[in-house]
């Protein structure tokens, strides 16, 4: 069973998640509409349309054919080719954060589904659901560490390299600080529960584990889902879309 604290119930968490998702989806729609303020071509008039942005993006992304689109997906999005060409250290940072973040987000979604199955005992699968959830803890740990490596490099770069530090804005600090904080609170919540990957029972304190889990969840949902569409976080979506629209920039 999932465990909740501070008066939160399963139903409340589901409701909060739905609200967060709704805000996130509206945020993405809002951004697409904002991007739609541009035209569809060099001389074309403005339409200010969500759909015309999508149409323009699809037109640009597939301009050189499906093969080029797929090549861009693999080389520029999955392998971050352009970053590797410029800086191997930044490539390690980005790729660990990219895969760490993406996989943890997917696993969290999957975990929520399993929670729902378990809670309502859908199709009588409560017990297998609990087992499945347990099986998720190892990938959670592995990708959590991956994200932690990336976030640590990112924070260290901003602190240690003068040229990078000098051009770090509040936005940058907020973004990287938030990623780092979310990763750390996630780990701490896990460690407090005991029997954790790599650290065992060194930090075990089950009484406060739900509180930290809650802090972690609120931060993750709040920052990534609520804040993402409205701030510079949007680059998480806009950068891959730009790479695809420009066919990798090549």
Partner 1 sequence: MADDKGSKPLMTGYMISTQMLEIDGCSRCQECMKWCPTFDVRQDRPGITPMYKNAKWRELIARSHSLRAKIFGPKPLNEDEMKTFTEDVYSCTTCGVCGTVCESGIKTVELWEAMRPNLVDRGNGPYGKQSFFPKLVKTDKNPYQAKQEDRLCWLPKDAKVLESGKIAYFAGCTAAYRQQALAVATVRVLNALGVDFCMLGKDEWCCASAMVRTGQRPVMEECAVHNVDALKDRGVETVLFACAGCQRNSTIDWPLWYEGYIPYESMPLSAFLRDKIRAGEVEFTRPINYKVTYHDPCHNGRHLMHLKGKDWAFEAPREVLQSIPGIKFQDMVRNRALQRCCGAGGGVKAGIPDLALDCAKARVRDGEEIGAEIIASTCPFCRRNIMDGRNDAKSTVKMLDVVELMAAAMGLDTTIPENPYTKYQEQDVIVCGPAVCEVGTIERKEPGKDLVGEAH
88 binds partner 1 (CB under 8 A): no
> Closest approach of Cβ 229 to partner 1, in Å?
9
Inter-residue contact 217 to 185 (CB < 8 Å): no
Main-chain dihedrals φ then ψ at residue 200, nearest 5 degrees: 60, -130
The nearer residue to partner 1, 28 or 110, going by C-beta atoms, is 28
Q: CA 243 to CA 71: how far, in whole Å?
A: 11
- Phi and psi at residue 172, in whole multiples of 5°? -60, -45
Q: Which of 58, 150, 135, 64 is nearest to 101 (CA)?
A: 150
Contact 196, 190 (CB under 8 A): yes
Q: Which of 4, 10, 39, 139 binds partner 1 (CB under 8 A)?
A: 39
- Using CB under 8 A as the binding rule, whether residue 152 contacts partner 1 is answered as no
Binding flag, residue 235, partner 1 (CB under 8 A): yes
Q: Is residue 71 near partner 1 by the rule CB under 8 A?
A: no
Binding status of residue 69 toward partner 1 by CB under 8 A: no
63 binds partner 1 (CB under 8 A): no
- Taking CB under 8 A as the rule, does residue 79 contact partner 1? no
Q: What is the rounded CA–CA span in Å between residue 231 and residue 2?
A: 32
Residue 225 exposure: Cα atoms within 13 Å on the Cβ side: 19
Cβ proximity to partner 1, 42 vs 67, nearer residue: 42
Binding to partner 1 (CB under 8 A) within 163-222 occurs at: 163-164, 167, 169, 171-172
Stretch that binds partner 1, among 6-14, 85-93, 117-125, 181-189 (CB under 8 A): 85-93
CB nearer partner 1, residue 6 or residue 86: 86
Least distance in Å: CB of 153 to partner 1?
13
DSSP E strand stretches across 112-248: none
Q: Calculate ∠ Cα 63-65-68, nearest 5°.
A: 100
Part of the chain binding partner 1 (CB under 8 A), chosen from 28-36, 115-123, 200-208, 217-225: 28-36
Question: Residue 16 or residue 238: which is nearer to partner 1 going by CB?
Answer: 238
Does residue 234 touch partner 1 according to CB under 8 A?
A: yes
Q: Which two tokens stand for residue 133?
A: 């959830």
Q: How many Cβ atoms are within 10 Å of 79's Cβ, its own excluded?
A: 13
- In a 13 Å sphere around the CA of 88, the CA atoms on its Cβ side amount to 0
* CA of residue 76 relative to chain centroid, distance: 18
Residue numbers at the binding site for partner 1 (CB under 8 A)? 30-31, 34-44, 46, 52-53, 56-57, 60, 76, 80, 82-83, 86-87, 90, 94, 163-164, 167, 169, 171-172, 230, 232, 234-235, 238-239, 241-243, 245-246, 248-250
């Amino acid at each position: 069973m999932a465990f909740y604290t501070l008066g939160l119930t399963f139903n409340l968490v589901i409701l909060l998640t739905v609200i967060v998702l709704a805000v996130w989806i509206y945020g993405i729609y809002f951004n697409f509409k904002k991007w739609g303020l541009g035209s569809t071509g060099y001389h074309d008039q403005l339409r200010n349309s969500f759909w015309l942005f999508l149409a323009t993006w699809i037109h640009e992304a597939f301009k050189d054919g499906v093969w080029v689109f797929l090549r861009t997906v693999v080389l520029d999005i999955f392998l971050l080719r352009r970053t590797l060409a410029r800086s191997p250290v930044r490539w390690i940072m980005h790729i660990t954060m990219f895969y760490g973040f993406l996989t943890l987000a997917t696993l969290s979604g999957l975990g929520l589904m399993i929670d729902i199955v378990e809670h309502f005992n859908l199709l009588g699968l409560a017990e297998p659901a609990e087992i499945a959830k347990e099986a998720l803890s190892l990938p959670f740990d592995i990708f959590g560490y991956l994200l932690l490596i990336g976030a640590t490099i990112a924070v260290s770069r901003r602190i240690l390299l003068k040229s990078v530090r000098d051009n770090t804005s509040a936005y940058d600090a907020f973004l990287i600080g938030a990623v780092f904080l979310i990763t750390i609170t996630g780990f701490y919540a896990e460690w407090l529960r005991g029997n954790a990957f790599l650290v065992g029972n060194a930090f075990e304190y089950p009484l406060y584990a739900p509180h930290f889990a809650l802090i972690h969840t609120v931060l993750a949902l709040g920052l990534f889902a609520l804040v993402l569409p409205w701030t510079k976080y949007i680059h998480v979506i806009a950068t891959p879309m730009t790479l695809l629209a420009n066919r990798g920039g090549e």
